[in-house]
Structure formats: structure tokens, C-alpha cells
Structure 1
């Protein structure tokens, strides 16, 4: 299995618990992880991260573009399926549908649908009454596995030692 990282994995790590100065080992592991699976995530996630002019933008910009999966015809076809499902689902509010579809999230799911991928995200599944569109809910609809970065670190047997 290969893993597609959501932008919130990088952003939360940088802003909260694995800042570049406090936990450089986390960022080193992501670099090794990228070499092992030959990519880091999808192009749309890279685009979201580079919207802000900060240390994370500098870090991710050091990776060659071929480390980010670009949507081919198969991914675009799956994206249409995801878009149709979200658009036609009355559970979600129009505002939440538009926001979800304007970001990298549906592209992560569409890409995962094309192969042996899991989406790595910090998003939690939304409850039955919510109008929000969340990666875990849509992933389940399309039988896409999703895990947290901490799950991935356990799978990869990552140990950040001092």
C-alpha cells in the first residue's frame, strides 16, 4: 500500500507538534518516506501548501514536481464520480460542497480510488446530522482507506529519538 498525505498533515505538524526546529526528525522521515514510495502526495496538496509564504512552502518546494502525483485521465474520471456524489448528496450544504470540491480533498480520494492507496489525514468522520463534507465520510463511500499520520508512523515503525 502507498499513502497520499493531506495538506492538514503537513500544516498541523508544522504549526503544532512537529515544528521544523523542534522535530527535524519528522521532516527527515517524510523525505525518506518520499524516496521509498517515489512520491509524497498529489499536486493539488502541494498547491495548497504553497499558497502560504512560510517555512512549509520552502520545505515542500525543494521536492521535484515528479514527487507529486498529477491527475491523469483515470484520476479525472474518478474525480467526476466523487464530484457527482458530493454535488447530488442532499445531506451536505451547498457552501460545504463548494468548499470541499474547491480544495485538494476530492482529488486525494479520486487518486486513491485508482490504486492501492490510503489517504492520510487528520480529519475525523462527521456525524450523521452534519452538513460538512469530510474526507473520512467520502472515503468510506468509495471504499478508500484513510488513516492518521500517527497510524502511518506506527505502520512505518517511525521513532523520533533525542
Structure 2
């Protein structure tokens, strides 16, 4: 099961797969959710909603894609918080990471054995920002890019005339 980061939705909409010119991408997301292939979490929907644009409207209409956090995530939230606080990140980087949905996304993936899908790249030497791939690597969580996910799933984004 793939678990999508907010940047997959936001950057895809803004750059590669706008709702207005590549609707097949968004249809593929809906079909893949229905097939049990992917989902995201409610805190990601909250981040998307902050955009107040057509993507936030799409996310509201597709609220079924965004599952709530559950009590089973508590140990993962604790383990990730402990790790981030014990790593060599700046206090500001730690505070930012723990205040955004990325923290919960990684904990959900750890708890439920999902693969995190993000546009972020690993930067283990960077101490001014906690990157999702680095947290995943530290906790044995699989992560990938949306482009690799699309390749692995053999997604077909059929374009009309």
C-alpha cells in the first residue's frame, strides 16, 4: 500500500498533472484507492485544504482517500519523535517536522507497513530540515517517488482528444 505525501498532490497539480489538463492522473488515484493500492491520511488533506484552490476542492470531494490517524500509531509517533530529537537536527528543524503532517505520515507508514510516496529527496547531512526519506531510512520504512510508483504500478494516464 502506498501512502501519499502532500507534495505528491500539490506538486503534481502545479507542475505535471494539473486537474485541468491531465485528469487521468487524478482518476488513476481514485481507481487505485478503490483497488486498495494507495491512500493518504487526514492531516495531509488538511495541508492541501490550506491552498484554497481547485486542488483543495478536489481533495474535499475525494475525502475518502484520506484516512484518519489511529491509536495504533502512538508507538511509532513516539519512536519517530525520539529519533528526530536525538538526531543532529537544529531545534527549529525538529519543531517544524513535529508540527506538520510529515511526522504523522511517516508514523502511519511505520505502523501499517505502507510505502511512503514523496517528492522529497534524502539529504542525511542536512540539519536545518528533517526530510521524510531520511526518517524513513532510519526506521526501515520503504519510500519512493510518485514517478517510480507510477512506473511500478504500470499506471496508464490515458489522454483524451
Q: 1:103 aligns to what?
A: 100
Question: 1:18-56, CA deviations, whole angstroms, 9 ceiling, x for partnerless residues?
Answer: 111121111111111111117620111011111121001
Structure 1 residues not aligned, in runs of 5+: none
Structure 2 residues not aligned, in runs of 5+: none
2:109 to 101, 109, 112: 112
Please state whether the residue corresponding to 1:107 is helix, strand or coil: helix
When residues 140 and 57 of structure 1 are mapped into structure 2, their CA distance, relative to the original with a 3 A threshold, is same
Distance in structure 2 (CA, Å) of the matches to 1:72 and 1:151: 28
2:74 to 54, 66, 76: 76
Distance in structure 1 (CA, Å) of the matches to 2:26 and 2:93: 32
Please state whether the residue corresponding to 2:35 is helix, strand or coil: helix
Preserved CA contact (<8 Å) 1:96 1:131: yes
Q: 2:137 aligns to what?
A: 140
TM-score (norm 1): 0.91
Q: How big is the alpha-carbon RMSD for the aligned residues of Structure 1 and Structure 2?
A: 1.5
Runs (4+) off by over 4 Å: none
Cα displacement (A) at 1:83: 1.0
Cα displacement (A) at 1:68: 2.1
Preserved CA contact (<8 Å) 1:39 1:69: no
Query: How many residue pairs were aligned?
Result: 159
